[in-house]
Chains A and B, each alone.
Chain A
Amino acid sequence: EGFQPLLKNYYNSI
């Protein structure tokens, strides 16, 4: 079904 990436792989922590 594919790997579900975490959102922090796309956006930086602030």
Chain B
Amino acid sequence: MLELRLVQGSLLKKVLEAIKDLVTDANFDCSATGFSLQAMDSSHVALVSLLLRSEGFEHYRCDRNISMGMNLNNMAKMLKCAGNDDIITLKADDGSDTVTFMFESPTQDKISDFEMKLMDVDSEHLGIPEAEYHAIVRMPSTEFARICKDLSSIGDTVVISVTKEGVKFSTSGDIGTANVVCRQNTTVDKPEDATIVEMNEPVSLTFALRYFNSFTKGTPLSNTVTISLSSELPVVVEYKIAEMGHLRFYLAPKIEE
């Protein structure tokens, strides 16, 4: 028996909107730790990792570890039927091939339930060890999304370079080149507006912008985004989900052929 009650149901709606274009089908894993997902895009180039910790749910019952295969587009269709202020409860019986989403309006005057068929999803799980990164950049998530969108109108790839001066995003294409430099800026009124650059050593890596633009669909989840870079590792683009966990995207840097 599985029963997860999420008072801030909009979080789950935002998570689905953030990942449904990158991943088609995925297994949601439920354990005592929480509700999680790890899935790669169809080309196995980008990976999404979601964790919603059990403590973040108002009610969390998961009698045994369970993996539920879902089509994310279909799940997003169902969650779109929930209001932004609704409480969302996920329910599944042991051995059932369906999951039920229950939506309660804040005043309890409207209660809906939607039952969705589960599916067998054959997925490859990767072990991602904790790593020390050469540089970690924290910046407003809307600023990062703006930069990725702007640069993708000029070129297909972005070079992210971190030095002690700050972080530089560069691209080039048929019509010209573009460079955006964000300097460390901690003298802001609100902490979420700060740009913080932690650098152990300078790093410069090239990434496909179309994946970055996909990752920025996570922007509504958090005011800030953290970009962790190392020369021998995939970049990690992380959106913290307040008091619950995180949505992380991984992408290997492009390399010379």
Q: Is B175 an interface residue (CB 8 A)?
A: no
CB distance from B175 to the nearest CB of A (A): 16
Question: Are A7 and B254 interface neighbours, CB within 8 A?
Answer: no
Q: Is B176 an interface residue (CB 8 A)?
A: no
Interface size on A, residues (CB 8 A): 14
Question: Are A2 and B128 interface neighbours, CB within 8 A?
Answer: no
Question: Are A10 and B206 interface neighbours, CB within 8 A?
Answer: no
Residues of A within 8 A of B43 (CB): 6
Q: Is B252 an interface residue (CB 8 A)?
A: yes
Interface class of chain A by DSSP: loop
Question: Are A7 and B206 interface neighbours, CB within 8 A?
Answer: no
Question: Are A10 and B252 interface neighbours, CB within 8 A?
Answer: yes
Question: Are A4 and B252 interface neighbours, CB within 8 A?
Answer: yes
How far does the alpha carbon of A5 sit from the alpha carbon of B128 in the complex, in Å? 16
Question: Are A3 and B256 interface neighbours, CB within 8 A?
Answer: yes
Interface string of B23-65 (1 = CB under 8 A from A): 0000000000000000010011111000000000000000000
Q: Which of B77-85, B91-99, B119-127 contacts its partner?
A: B119-127
Question: Are B252 and A14 interface neighbours, CB within 8 A?
Answer: no
Residues of B within 8 A of A6 (CB): 43-45, 252
How far does the alpha carbon of A9 sit from the alpha carbon of B44 in the complex, in Å? 10
Question: Are B126 and A2 interface neighbours, CB within 8 A?
Answer: no
Question: Are B254 and A1 interface neighbours, CB within 8 A?
Answer: yes
How far does the alpha carbon of A12 sit from the alpha carbon of B156 in the complex, in Å? 29
Question: Are B125 and A7 interface neighbours, CB within 8 A?
Answer: no
Question: Are B157 and A13 interface neighbours, CB within 8 A?
Answer: no
Q: Is B208 an interface residue (CB 8 A)?
A: yes
Question: Are B250 and A7 interface neighbours, CB within 8 A?
Answer: yes
CB distance from A11 to the nearest CB of B (A): 4
Q: Is B234 an interface residue (CB 8 A)?
A: yes
Question: Are B127 and A12 interface neighbours, CB within 8 A?
Answer: yes
Residues of B within 8 A of A11 (CB): 126-129, 234
How far does the alpha carbon of A11 sit from the alpha carbon of B38 in the complex, in Å? 13
How far does the alpha carbon of A3 sit from the alpha carbon of B255 in the complex, in Å? 5
Residue of A nearest to B124 (CB): A13
How far does the alpha carbon of A10 sit from the alpha carbon of B252 in the complex, in Å? 8
8 example contacts (A-B, Cβ-Cβ < 8 A) are as follows: A1-B157, A1-B208, A4-B208, A5-B252, A5-B255, A6-B44, A8-B124, A14-B126
* Inter-chain pairs besides A3-B257, A11-B129, 4 sampled, C-beta below 8 Å: A2-B255, A5-B255, A7-B44, A12-B126
